[in-house]
Structure 1
Amino acid sequence: MGSVVGMSTELEIAIKPLFATPVLVFTVAQHDCLNADLARVILEREASRPAHRDSEVVGWSSPHDLSMLDWAGEMLGKLFDPVLKIAAHMTELSRQSGHGEQRLGWQVAEVWANVQRQGGSNAFHPHPGSFWSGVYYVDTGDIPQEPCGGELRLFDPRGCLPRMLAPYLRYSVPELHDAGTSVSLAPSAGQCLLFPGWLFHAVNVYTGHTPRISIAFNLDPILSKREA
């Protein structure tokens, strides 16, 4: 709620941020031990396997499938237990879907590890076919200590049109951000972000000296019969 002053009568303004994009940010409980185990197996994997070929990635990543469950399944189970519960809590069936008698759940469709060293980055991209996508931070490297890039960069889904029309203007409400630009978020270890798979994102060039380790994933919905 805002107001306009300098008028003969004060005018109250209700601000409704329409077409908002959900980005869910939470910290996984007891992540210190989990991250130590994940960092160990991911760095061992990096040392023994070639990187998955991906033109968007400067750095090492494992295959974008479910094979990570074979070598890190127990640890991933601890990670995805809260992730799937949050996805279920934050999603419901559309009233127009015709599936009102069914129960909605979530499962991991793809999961892969990323290791970025000095000069690493991820180019601008979405995750097609996924309602929820996410990233979990095992180790953010030197990011907390000094400015060294590596932030997650989220792009305004409204595109560049507002800036093409009036690049000299911005909204006066901070929560609305500048139209047509992007927002960079500096991660912390143990933090997880869930966002729509259609949201374009990137990783800024990382210039730190210690590895930046993350786990990316996509979720698929599961429809099942409701219990009687």
Structure 2
Amino acid sequence: MARGIFVTAAACAFLSTGVRSQSTAPAYGQCGGQGWTGPTTCVSGYTCQTTNQWYSQCIPGGSTPVPTSSTPTPTPTTPTPTPTNTPTQTFSTPTAPSGTPTLVNGYSFVRAVTDPNFHKYLRSEAWGTPGDAILGDYMTSSLFRVVNGQLIQGVEGQQTLLYAVVEPKTDSAAKKLKVSWSRTPATSGTFRWSGDTLEWSDPAISRPQNNAWLVCPDAQGNRDVYINLGPYSYQTPAGCNDHTIHAYTGPVAVP
């Protein structure tokens, strides 16, 4: 009877040792990962390191066992501070040419060729900046090209480009539409050359002649440019003059 008790006690001791041996993972043994049901801490001197979602391993480098779980612990990140002021893009004010404007290859001057605006050249009211399109003196002429239906003012790489924009027709009785310059391309209407004559058309707007323009002085005397919606040289709005405007590709602007 005593011998039986001795055997049972030994067995218990063995089982107890077995349980303790399974409470920590051995060196370089698995200690975690999705679906892992074994020990999740390592023997002294080893740390349980996550390799991937499915496997963690005991590697040298720690004296304190580190528990793991099947779900990786997210790495803390330092939040990016939100700027209190958002910088705004600015444009420097361009300076008009100090001498006679010279042609650049691939570009042209644009001008009227009849009185009362003979050899007045297309540009912005304030040279090289967004605003009204006007005809001005040859000494302040800009350079132009037509690309994909856009009339573009300015030389690529030398100055900020501007795009000709025609105001929308909101009045069925309107006889003219004002032309201005914008830093963003026009979303309607198409500019094109017909020979050296500049034309504008829009499928939503019917007009007798696509090459008919009007020049109408404003209160400051600027020669504002408009699209003429009526027939050329007929029923001309008061204070305005009928014109066609043309490319000029001489080496310099001339009066």
The answer, yes or no, to whether TM exceeds 0.5 is: no
Question: What TM-score, normalized by structure 1, do the two folds share?
Answer: 0.21
The structure with the greater share of residues assigned to helix is: 1
Q: Which has the larger radius of gyration?
A: 2
Greater RCO, CA 8 A, separation 6+: 1
Question: What TM-score, normalized by structure 2, do the two folds share?
Answer: 0.19
